[in-house]
Structure 1
């Protein structure tokens, strides 16, 4: 009886997470994939009587110049964010490894920015970017770096850079937290041995910190890529992808196709494209974590 009871409990705890994954992850993914090969509009959204178009939505997207611009923006947005967030996060994590009064409290205060909702961060940065009364223009004019207001969010040439800067500010504390955990796991004896051998700070960083953080950096890069690929709230609050799609990225474009133009098939195709990219990066992350545990 005890064995049967234990087996029943094990099956129960197995069925619950599997059922959750099927209902809240598997079904939406499959449903989105099915929609991406159909011509779905407001007229047939509530029914299953939808014309099958195969890869038509994907072919239309690839031929669409706007989609190519959005992909280009997404590549730039993700690449610059991941590289600079890791660079800044690593620098800040190393700085807080130094023992000085208030270091722990300053690190906690630094994390407070990451705990705010993205919409709040977007509203804050939109105020700072304001042309007439924004803090950034005021500072630039005060120190003589600007002769007049800069229209950060309405100039197509600089709006993407402005959005990237806000997202880097938002995401860096999280990266810093992850890298701080990795640095804390590096044996102090390695640094002491390197110091005894005459290695300076740069040499210790190059030959001790970076090699020991290799797996952690790869895992953090994968996580940062996944989170950045999903960016929506902050960009929507800042620029809504404009002007003229200069700051538009894949999640926003999928939303615009589905809920502004009511081209649900095209929106699902964009979402599927994003999902495939994120899924590949997630597989790389899982493989990295397994390799790190094996070591």
Structure 2
């Protein structure tokens, strides 16, 4: 191999006709390109996520009312807003309803979503079309879906009660949305219906990543059916399950539009959750400080659950 050098004239200037030396691009230019791509994302996160969170935290320690919009004065009150929120008679009921609503919704969404994902994991004709139709509840706006379900669950003219009238062993029409014992159950059922597509889609994607060779090897050792699910599918799906459960709980804790569209927190606070209670205090009582305090409590509950579940799941994986 021969190497060629380019002669340079006095002062390091290349003579006419000589090939120019390639310029080396230093690491500084690469960093500038990286920063240029990161700046829009950082600005977006700061403006639309960071600022609202910080503002809400500050409002929780201020006397923030409609007068503040005119005077600009929001005096600091310390923990008064939190004390007012926690000692309110509605708070205990809202906290209990939040727990029941979250547990019921997540249990139903995850169980049905996993069963549907396992069903579609087996190939059969029109499976792709049916999977596409499964996404419809997820694509419908929440307010529109709530309006349709409110018509379905109407006591007098609802489709569900009219269907139940045909059955011979049911004489009464249940008051799905106006009964203090059935309203929360009805809201949970509707939220399960809305969350099934998300769970089924994510879990189906996780099932697709499991190698078929594992099932073939397991079948040789007698791991088929339920044994194959327990010893192969579930361990391989654990990471996806963690994502689905954490995101599902965080999302369900802050559900607002479904409850407002169906029951508006009633009857008699039977479906009142912390998120709807925060909305009520902020935009009906116009006590934005107490509403922000309730929102901060909800964020704290979500954060504690996410950290605790992730640590517990990591410990199980290590063991």
**TM-score, scaled to structure 2:** 0.85
The equivalent residue for 1:42 is 66
- Alpha-carbon distance in structure 2 between the residues aligned to 1:188 and 1:241: 48
- Alpha-carbon distance in structure 2 between the residues aligned to 1:225 and 1:48: 37
60, 74, 78: which one pairs with 1:54?
78
With 86-95 and 38-47 compared, the bigger mean Cα shift is at 38-47
Residues 219 and 285 of structure 1 are in contact (CA less than 8 Å); yes or no, is this contact kept in structure 2?
A: no
Quote the offset at 1:128 in angstroms.
Answer: 0.7
Residues 215 and 288 of structure 1 are in contact (CA less than 8 Å); yes or no, is this contact kept in structure 2?
A: no
Query: Does 2:298 align with 1:274?
Result: yes
Classify the secondary structure of the residue corresponding to 2:68.
coil
Query: Does 2:83 align with 1:86?
Result: no
Classify the secondary structure of the residue corresponding to 2:67.
coil
The equivalent residue for 2:151 is 127
With 188-197 and 122-131 compared, the bigger mean Cα shift is at 188-197
- Alpha-carbon distance in structure 2 between the residues aligned to 1:132 and 1:62: 38
The equivalent residue for 1:64 is 88
- Alpha-carbon distance in structure 2 between the residues aligned to 1:165 and 1:206: 28
**Could you say if the C-alpha distance between residues 43 and 209 of structure 1 is closer, same or farther in structure 2, counting changes exceeding 3 Å?**
same
Classify the secondary structure of the residue corresponding to 1:213.
helix
Query: Does 2:226 align with 1:202?
Result: yes
Classify the secondary structure of the residue corresponding to 2:266.
coil
Residues 219 and 289 of structure 1 are in contact (CA less than 8 Å); yes or no, is this contact kept in structure 2?
A: no
- Alpha-carbon distance in structure 1 between the residues aligned to 2:174 and 2:226: 39
Residues 114 and 170 of structure 1 are in contact (CA less than 8 Å); yes or no, is this contact kept in structure 2?
A: yes
Unaligned runs of 5+ residues in structure 1 are none
The equivalent residue for 1:220 is 244
Quote the offset at 1:6 in angstroms.
Answer: 3.2
Residues 222 and 282 of structure 1 are in contact (CA less than 8 Å); yes or no, is this contact kept in structure 2?
A: yes
- Alpha-carbon distance in structure 2 between the residues aligned to 1:253 and 1:234: 14
CA RMSD of aligned residues (A): 2.2
Query: Does 2:134 align with 1:110?
Result: yes
- Alpha-carbon distance in structure 1 between the residues aligned to 2:223 and 2:162: 45
Residues 223 and 285 of structure 1 are in contact (CA less than 8 Å); yes or no, is this contact kept in structure 2?
A: no
The equivalent residue for 1:24 is 48
Quote the offset at 1:264 in angstroms.
Answer: 0.7
Quote the offset at 1:288 in angstroms.
Answer: 9.9
Query: Does 2:211 align with 1:154?
Result: no
Unaligned runs of 5+ residues in structure 2 are 1-23
Residues 242 and 310 of structure 2 are in contact (CA less than 8 Å); yes or no, is this contact kept in structure 1?
A: no
27, 33, 44: which one pairs with 1:9?
33
- Alpha-carbon distance in structure 1 between the residues aligned to 2:35 and 2:131: 43
- Alpha-carbon distance in structure 2 between the residues aligned to 1:44 and 1:113: 41
Quote the offset at 1:50 in angstroms.
Answer: 1.9
